[in-house]
Chain A
Amino acid sequence: MTHTTCSHSAADIAVSVRDLRVTLGGQAILRGVNLHLHRGQLVALIGPNGSGKTTLLRAIVGLQRPDSGDVRIFGESDLKKALPRVGYVPQRLALDRSFILSVREFLALRLRETQHWFWHRKRDTDDRIRAEMAELGAESLLDRPIAALSGGQLQRVLIVFALLKQPDLLLLDEPTAGVDSPGEESFYDLIGEVHRKHKLTVVLVSHDLSMVYRHASWVYALNGVVCCEGSPEHVMNADSLKEAYGLNVTPYHHHNHSHGPGGGTVQ
């Protein structure tokens, strides 16, 4: 493994993962992952398909039970205590079209949990939801059913959902998976803006190497284990990527939609 150093104290660690191992369907997906994500960074997890990026993210928030290993979020190993500080954006929602939950109702579920959702529509809650949606330019979607949204619209709503409780850590699992190509770039700009404005730690699973180069402050290249980590400039050199992807990849720094494994070019 190659890495560049980044000196921080333990209190600066947002997420620490030690020797994490996960087996799925008899196949070892994570084979002893170690990483320390620092507060305030925009961290990108890159790697080829099946390298365990999504599994790692799911294990961090307790959606995937590990075989062994230790995960701490802001030093806390008890997920119940840690999760209120976490916002999570899944790849997609498997919604049935018959489920007519509106965007406004969906967001209210995050703010009020079990109280008052059904009978009352509190003005302050409603104002808050409207303001957050307006900030992401999605106010017009408030009364649409979430099952009827396009990929890009849904991702914006999911980001608002994740931000409503003002988390300290935002985890995004391939957020542009359901977004058309023209929408991808503006979407990553939006993530960068959210990161700066809310001063969050952002962890992002991505296939798009050009996005990683432009926005990420730290990169982990994963392939069952952490192959390399460091600044985008360091990780995006061909040797590091070859180690992660297992083939020759030349990253480039302008957005291009004819992706190889994740936006670089494959030779």
Chain B
Amino acid sequence: MNIFSDIEPFMLRAFAVAVVMGPLCALLGVFVTARRMAFFSDTIAHGALAGIALGFLLGFEDPTWPMVLFSLLVAAAILWLKEHTDLLTDTIMALLLSGSVAFGIIVLSMLKNKRGELHRYLFGDILSVGPDDVWLAVLLCAAIGAWLFTKLSPLALLTASEDLAHVCGVRTRWLNYGFVLVLTVVVSLSIRLLGIILVTSLVVIPPAAARNLARNLRQQIILSLIIGLFGGAAGTVASYHWDIPCGPAIVMACIAVFIVSLVVSKLWLNKPAST
């Protein structure tokens, strides 16, 4: 008898998406944290709310594509405003984040039959992961994971110094755009599971926990992938067993690993703060 036969199909779908998106978010997160882009990731996640609302307004039953497209629009707006105005990056992101959320809430409140969707997208919903989402997650993970691994060296060099990367022949502008594109797509597609409010934690916490234990970038990447995988798997299982929301369960699983990593690094690895 199949060991999965007793498990609800929606749980299996959520589990599949979590174990695919968890490591992918964690791998991206290594570079997101080092490049101080956590707030950027948060802004594009919140930008998705406006995309979701617009999708419903335009009659989409499944607002995945409007959500991804609007997040990309927000990412492009951040880059454009950074290049063409004197505004601080934090100001630009705060503006777009609050603007997107305000727009999304207003539109959703006008659509009377969609008011319940706000809670679902803000906090994530294990039930909302459909069969198509699983295939999309698997295909994306394969494509983006492959791209990331081929670009690992230029990306590491770009993170160390954009100037050095340029002199070493890296096409820095295109790599920057590629990274933003990939991050936007991955973050917006992880919203189903984790919710807009918590999705950035899956990008930030696994690399931070890995950072506590690692001695070099290679170790941090490997540990981050493992922690992202564990957080995704443990969180969805805990969510199913204890009937608790999926997003917060994944985040708490990652935070538990972070606390353990912190204790281990202070008590056993004896790592000073500067390293």
Chain A residues within CB distance 8 Å of chain B: 58, 61-63, 80, 83-84, 86, 88, 90, 93-102, 104-106, 109-110, 112-115, 117-118, 143-146, 148, 161
| Cβ A83 vs Cβ B169 within 8 A | yes
| Cβ B164 vs Cβ A88 within 8 A | yes
* Residue among A86, A104, A114, A145 making CB contact with B275, cutoff 8 Å: A145
| Cβ A96 vs Cβ B215 within 8 A | no
Which single residue of chain B is at the shortest CB-CB distance from A106? Answer: B160
Chain B residues within CB distance 8 Å of chain A: 33-36, 149-154, 156-157, 159-161, 163-164, 166-169, 207-208, 211, 214-221, 274-275
Q: How far is the CB of B43 from chain A (nearest CB, A)?
A: 19
| Cβ B167 vs Cβ A98 within 8 A | no
Query: Given that A83-B169, A86-B167, A112-B153 are known contacts, is A105 also in contact with B217, CB under 8 Å in the complex?
Result: yes
Q: Give chain B residues whose Cβ lies under 8 Å from the Cβ of A114.
A: 150-154
Q: Give chain A residues whose Cβ lies under 8 Å from the Cβ of B164.
A: 88, 90, 93, 161
Q: Give chain B residues whose Cβ lies under 8 Å from the Cβ of A145.
A: 216, 275
| Cβ B163 vs Cβ A113 within 8 A | no
Known: A90-B163, A98-B211. 5 other contacts (CB 8 A): A86-B167, A102-B215, A105-B217, A115-B153, A118-B218
| Cβ B221 vs Cβ A90 within 8 A | no
Which single residue of chain B is at the shortest CB-CB distance from A121? Answer: B218
Q: Give chain A residues whose Cβ lies under 8 Å from the Cβ of B151.
A: 114
Q: Give chain B residues whose Cβ lies under 8 Å from the Cβ of A95.
A: 160-161
**CA of A113 to CA of B169 in the docked complex: distance in angstroms?**
9
Query: Which of B34, B159, B215 counts the most A-chain CB atoms under 10 A from its CB?
Result: B34
Q: How far is the CB of B205 from chain A (nearest CB, A)?
A: 13
**CA of A110 to CA of B165 in the docked complex: distance in angstroms?**
9
Q: Give chain A residues whose Cβ lies under 8 Å from the Cβ of B216.
A: 100-102, 104-105, 143, 145
Classify the secondary structure of A's interface with B.
Answer: loop
Which single residue of chain B is at the shortest CB-CB distance from A96? Answer: B34
* Residue among A90, A98, A113 making CB contact with B208, cutoff 8 Å: A98
Which single residue of chain A is at the shortest CB-CB distance from B161? Answer: A93
**CA of A98 to CA of B91 in the docked complex: distance in angstroms?**
23
Q: Give chain A residues whose Cβ lies under 8 Å from the Cβ of B166.
A: 61-63
Q: Give chain B residues whose Cβ lies under 8 Å from the Cβ of A109.
A: 153, 156-157, 160, 168
| Cβ A148 vs Cβ B169 within 8 A | no
**CA of A165 to CA of B215 in the docked complex: distance in angstroms?**
26
**CA of A61 to CA of B208 in the docked complex: distance in angstroms?**
35
**CA of A112 to CA of B219 in the docked complex: distance in angstroms?**
19
Q: Give chain A residues whose Cβ lies under 8 Å from the Cβ of B218.
A: 105, 118
Which single residue of chain B is at the shortest CB-CB distance from A158? Answer: B164
Query: Given that A109-B153, A117-B153, A144-B275 are known contacts, is A101 also in contact with B163, CB under 8 Å in the complex?
Result: no
| Cβ B35 vs Cβ A96 within 8 A | yes
| Cβ B160 vs Cβ A146 within 8 A | yes
Query: Given that A114-B154, A118-B149 are known contacts, is A102 also in contact with B217, CB under 8 Å in the complex?
Result: yes
Q: How far is the CB of A237 from chain B (nearest CB, A)?
A: 35
Which single residue of chain A is at the shortest CB-CB distance from B272? Answer: A148
**CA of A115 to CA of B207 in the docked complex: distance in angstroms?**
24
**CA of A86 to CA of B153 in the docked complex: distance in angstroms?**
19
**CA of A50 to CA of B119 in the docked complex: distance in angstroms?**
54
Q: 5 A-B Cβ contacts within 8 A? A: A98-B211, A100-B275, A113-B168, A115-B153, A118-B152
Which single residue of chain B is at the shortest CB-CB distance from A88? Answer: B167
**CA of A105 to CA of B9 in the docked complex: distance in angstroms?**
44
* Residue among B159, B168, B274 making CB contact with A99, cutoff 8 Å: B159
Q: How far is the CB of B35 from chain A (nearest CB, A)?
A: 7
**CA of A210 to CA of B71 in the docked complex: distance in angstroms?**
55
Q: Give chain B residues whose Cβ lies under 8 Å from the Cβ of A61.
A: 166-167
| Cβ B36 vs Cβ A96 within 8 A | yes
Q: Give chain B residues whose Cβ lies under 8 Å from the Cβ of A83.
A: 167-169
Q: Give chain B residues whose Cβ lies under 8 Å from the Cβ of A93.
A: 160-161, 164
Q: How far is the CB of A54 from chain B (nearest CB, A)?
A: 11
Q: Give chain B residues whose Cβ lies under 8 Å from the Cβ of A102.
A: 215-217
**CA of A102 to CA of B33 in the docked complex: distance in angstroms?**
17
Across the A-B interface, the 4 shortest Cβ-Cβ residue pairs: A99-B34, A102-B216, A88-B167, A101-B217
Which single residue of chain B is at the shortest CB-CB distance from A95? Answer: B160
Q: Give chain A residues whose Cβ lies under 8 Å from the Cβ of B274.
A: 97, 148
**CA of A146 to CA of B164 in the docked complex: distance in angstroms?**
14
Which single residue of chain B is at the shortest CB-CB distance from A89? Answer: B164
